[in-house]
Amino acid sequence: MEQTRTQLCEEFVSVTGSDSAVAQCYLAENEWEMERALNSFYEADLETVFAIEEYPERREPSHQNKRRRTDTNATNCADPTEEPACSRKTEVNQQSPEKDDKLSLISWNVDGLDTDLQDRVRGLCSYLALYTPDVVFLQELVPPYVQYLKKRAVSYLLIEGGEEGYFTGMMLKKSRVKLLQSTIVPYPTTQMTRNLLVARVTFRGLDLCLMTSHFESCKAHAEERMKQLRLVLQKMAEVPDNITVLFGGDTNLRDAEVAKVGLPRGVCDIWEQLGRQEHCRYTWDTQANSNLAAPYSCRCRFDRVYLRPATRGDVVPHLAPFSMALIGLEKLDCGRYTSDHWGIYAQFTTSS
């Protein structure tokens, strides 16, 4: 028991940047359960980052009804996304040479404008710590959420797709992904201030063009949504064919809309490429996810990941889909999920 508790203290220190006395105190108060101790440690800082506001318990699923919380101040914090030796909940977190060779991605609409933001941003950081993805695509970020991530996730470079309201963002693991340049491409006719965030990066000698977006919401905006998909596909086609293009985000697309636009040859939907597995089909599911307390039942594959591998010659390294799963399926201590969307966790193999 003494050896186990000493190891837990060391792991707590490595995650939080505190000292052994602090670690011992928090662990002892939480019956030596690491997750509870970490949550207790981070709770005080959460309260200083986010303003507490009262919101109605129920919210209409419309962009017009989303409300933004304001930021007060923040303090410097340790990085909970550095992978600790503890807190391994699934096999995917086991470090191995095989994992080092794969590119890992999380794409998630984090619904930063809903209630219980403190608990839910902490939930996101827990998933980042568990999966340690190389690349993270985020949608519906708000300024306090960004500030919290910048303070906590110091092992990542965070690129913002906006500054006010809600917007997209990318997080790049500094030790594995190098940023070359980033740009924001506006959608000319959007009514919801949506855009395309693009970043050129390198990963283990592989040239990548990363893209994320949040397409126009609601059924009535199908035409604008399809315009945005066409623009994304055009931008993907403009990237030189010796560079792999990876797009992910909350597209709000219905299958009929994608069929109407059509994916060009060479661009694949990774869910389809991996066999259309039913367990990870629906990323927005009011049957299973109670965050919206929706009085209706709706299951949609709004969140999608598209890949256009590099094709110029045999010497160009290739990226291929390896696995895909949904995350965020567990309720937090507050009784809600991290978001009203499930997140996508995907891995890609690299080969020459």
Active-site residue set: 250
d(CA 21, CA 89): 26
* CB-side neighbour CA atoms (13 Å) of 164: 2
- For residues 168 and 195, is the Cβ–Cβ distance under 8 A? yes
Q: Count of CB atoms within 10 A of residue 32's CB? A: 16
Show the tokens assigned to 278: 């039913």
Cα Rg for the chain, rounded, in angstroms?
Answer: 20
- For residues 75 and 151, is the Cβ–Cβ distance under 8 A? yes
- For residues 339 and 326, is the Cβ–Cβ distance under 8 A? no
* CB-side neighbour CA atoms (13 Å) of 156: 29
Tell me which amino acid residue 350 is: T
d(CA 211, CA 234): 12
- For residues 284 and 296, is the Cβ–Cβ distance under 8 A? no
d(CA 136, CA 147): 16
Q: What is the DSSP letter of 326?
A: E
Residue 266, SS3 per DSSP: coil
d(CA 127, CA 77): 18
Break the chain down into helix, strand, coil percent, rounded to 5.
Answer: 30, 25, 40
For residue 335, the cross-strand partners are none
Phi, psi (degrees; rounded to nearest 5) at 190: -65, 145
Q: Count of CB atoms within 10 A of residue 116's CB? A: 17
For residue 198, the cross-strand partners are 183, 211
Tell me which amino acid residue 31 is: E
